[in-house]
Amino acid sequence: MNKFSGKASLMATLVAAWVGASSAQAAEIKIGVVLPLSGALSGYGQPSQKGLDIIQSITPTLKNGDTVKLIVIDDKSDKVEAANAMQRLVSQR
């Protein structure tokens, strides 16, 4: 569970980094998520992605008019892959 807690913490940090101040015009807010969609920890990642998909389908637009785009990357349950995925997300900002 420590690996999962660490990844959840990283995910929350990334979400906080991508959410900016609201503006007068509607914008697309990109939220990067690194999940273990394959490999040993996929039992945690796949349900998490389904939950994110459900939330996005229920509320695709925020109250201020901004839309949310999820960028989901599979870390293959590997810490090196997870670190590389985080670097890719940060560089896409």
d(CA 74, CA 38): 7
How many structural domains is the chain composed of? 1
pLDDT tens digit string along 42-83? Answer: 999 999 999 999 999 999 899 999 999 999 999 999 999 999
pLDDT tens digit string along 10-53? Answer: 666 555 555 554 446 889 999 999 999 999 999 999 999 999 99
d(CA 8, CA 5): 5
- Which residues pair with residue 34 across a beta bridge? 73
From the list 49, 5, 6, 47, the residue with the least C-alpha distance to 31 is 49
d(CA 17, CA 13): 6
Please, are residues 49 and 72 in contact by the beta-carbon 8 Å criterion?
A: yes
What is this structure's pTM? 0.69
**CATH code at 69?**
3.40.50.2300
pLDDT at 21: 47
Structural domain that includes position 34: 2-19+26-92
